[in-house]
């Protein structure tokens, strides 16, 4: 963290000014090579053979297959262990009883926006020499300072809020000079270098990041409150599983989804980690996930139906449709119901977005919409 602070120009004290000028003024005297392929270079090639990785994500089957099979077999042969990061006692046990190289998680997670106590997790891991890597893409560098909370590395998909215009594919890694230098060695071998145009677009987008994120923070919090109070946004009781058959897990696996409330947003008091989000985040981000009927998405007029997020335009998508290749019964185990909606708010006017969302909800029949808590299916019967 000290190494990073030394690179900041003394005349740029605020995040807002740094975002506007850092890509140019910071680079005039110091070459940092700070733009690089994030997740691959950080988490895949940092390990020696037989190392262990603790991964805390949303436990979706696609993510598990990616970690357990593709990386393990094809590249470095490390042994990953999937856990629920809210299970602090379980985390402590596995770190104490095994040589663990790194703990990796998103915070907030996608799509249920669960939040990890980064400070507490870092303290537990560092006592045993375990590195902590946080994917802070959803939070943005403005809303969450994971390095200051104790994380060793932070990765960001710069494609999202940092670029902010849905026109570039990029990523970045932040951390101490020592760690980033080790990753840079593999980066030089693997490639993943941005084109000059992509680098230009990224620097161009960073200039307005604080303005965009500020608007998105405000709109999303206000809209989450509206959605939580709306009678046509459904509630589902939570379910926990003690294990997932066919997976070698070193701990019982608990589903990382909200146990209270029907709208998943860390800025709402109903969110299970609202108390953590208030401590570690300045604002709560531009994503909200909620449950309603499938008809809702098709009735919206402003947002694009797309899988990305963080741009100037609002995006909406259906996680179950995005994971179409995963068997439905498997999706339901992880909370990915057919009626789950993820909404990424852009910088459009709040009143316009609110009116569009409310009119889309109005298309859902009040008395004829039936919801099955057992299987998460929504059906409209006339």
Closest CA to 183 of 35, 38, 42: 42
Q: Domain 2-206: which topology?
A: 3.40.640
Could you say which DSSP state residue 343 is in? E
C-beta of residue 351 within 8 angstroms of C-beta of residue 305:
no
Question: Residue 362: which residues within 8 A CB-CB, separation 6 or more?
Answer: none
3-state SS, residue 109: coil
Q: At what angle do helices 88-97 and 118-126 cross, to 10 degrees?
A: 20
pLDDT digits (tens, 9 = 90+) for 274-319: 999 999 999 999 999 998 877 899 999 999 999 899 999 999 999 8
Amino acid 84: pLDDT: 82
Q: Which position has the token pair 């897990």?
A: 249
Amino acid 322: pLDDT: 84
Residues 130 and 102: their CA atoms lie apart, in Å, by 5
The arithmetic mean of pLDDT across residues 255-278, rounded, is 78
pLDDT digits (tens, 9 = 90+) for 331-377: 888 788 888 999 999 999 999 999 999 999 999 887 434 343 334 44
Amino acid 34: pLDDT: 41
The arithmetic mean of pLDDT across residues 218-242, rounded, is 75
The arithmetic mean of pLDDT across residues 128-136, rounded, is 95
pLDDT digits (tens, 9 = 90+) for 231-261: 888 554 443 333 323 333 233 233 344 333 4
Contacts of range 149-154, beta carbons closer than 8 Å, 24 or more positions apart: 149/118, 149/119, 149/122, 149/280, 150/118, 150/119, 150/121, 150/122, 150/123, 150/126, 151/118, 151/122, 152/122, 152/176, 152/179, 153/42, 153/179, 153/180
pLDDT(75) > 60: no
Higher pLDDT, residue 68 or 312: 312
Q: Cα Rg for the chain, rounded, in angstroms?
A: 21
CATH 3.90.1150.10 residue window(s) in the chain:
210-380
pLDDT(107) > 50: yes
Architecture of domain 210-380: Alpha-Beta Complex (3.90)
The arithmetic mean of pLDDT across residues 197-210, rounded, is 94
Beta-strand relationship, 378-380 and 369-371: antiparallel
Question: Residue 327 — very low, low, confident or very high, per pLDDT cuts 50/70/90?
Answer: confident
pLDDT(203) > 90: yes
Q: Is 290 left (phi over 0), alpha (psi -120 to 50) or beta?
A: beta
pLDDT digits (tens, 9 = 90+) for 153-176: 999 999 999 999 999 999 999 999
CATH 3.40.640.10 residue window(s) in the chain:
2-206
pLDDT(62) > 80: no
Amino acid 317: pLDDT: 93
Q: Using CB atoms within 10 A of its CB, is residue 299 exposed (0-12), middle (13-18) or buried (19+)?
A: middle
pLDDT(323) > 90: no
User: What is the share, in percent, of the chain residues with pLDDT greater than 90?
Assistant: 51
Amino acid 179: pLDDT: 95
Q: Which position has the token pair 């307005």?
A: 208
Residues 203 and 23: their CA atoms lie apart, in Å, by 6
């Amino acid at each position: 963290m000290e190494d990073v602070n030394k690179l900041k120009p003394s005349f740029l004290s605020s995040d807002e000014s740094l975002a506007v000028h850092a890509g140019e003024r910071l680079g005039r005297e110091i070459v940092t090579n700070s733009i690089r392929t994030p997740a691959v270079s950080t988490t895949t090639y940092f390990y020696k053979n037989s190392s262990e990785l603790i991964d805390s994500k949303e436990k979706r089957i696609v993510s598990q297959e990616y970690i357990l099979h593709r990386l393990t077999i094809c590249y470095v042969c490390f042994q990953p262990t999937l856990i629920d990061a809210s299970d602090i006692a379980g985390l402590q046990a596995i770190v104490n009883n095994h040589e663990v190289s790194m703990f990796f998680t998103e915070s907030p997670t996608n799509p249920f926006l669960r939040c990890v106590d980064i400070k507490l997790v870092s303290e537990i891991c560092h006592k045993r020499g375990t590195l902590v890597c946080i994917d802070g893409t959803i939070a943005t560098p403005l809303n969450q300072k994971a390095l200051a909370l104790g994380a060793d590395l932070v990765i960001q998909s710069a494609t999202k809020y940092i670029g902010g215009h849905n026109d570039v594919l990029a990523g970045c890694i932040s951390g101490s000079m020592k760690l980033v230098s080790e990753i840079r060695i593999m980066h030089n071998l693997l490639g993943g270098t941005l084109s000059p145009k992509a680098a230009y677009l990224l620097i161009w987008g960073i200039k307005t990041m604080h303005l965009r994120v500020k608007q998105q923070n405000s709109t999303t919090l206000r809209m989450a409150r509206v959605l939580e109070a709306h009678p046509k946004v459904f509630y589902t009781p939570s379910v926990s599983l003690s294990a997932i058959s066919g997976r070698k897990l070193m701990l019982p696996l608990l589903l990382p989804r909200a146990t209270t409330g029907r709208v998943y947003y860390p800025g709402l008091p109903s969110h299970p980690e609202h108390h953590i989000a208030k401590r570690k985040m300045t604002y709560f981000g531009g994503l909200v996930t909620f449950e309603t009927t499938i008809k809702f998405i098709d009735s919206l007029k402003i947002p694009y139906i797309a899988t990305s997020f963080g741009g100037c335009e609002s995006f909406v998508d259906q996680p179950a449709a995005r994971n179409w290749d995963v068997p439905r019964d498997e999706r339901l185990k992880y909370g990915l119901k057919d009626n789950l909606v993820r909404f990424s708010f852009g910088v459009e006017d709040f009143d316009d977005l609110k009116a569009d969302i409310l009119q889309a909800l109005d298309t859902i029949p009040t008395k004829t919409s039936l919801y099955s808590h057992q299987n998460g299916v929504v059906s409209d019967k006339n």
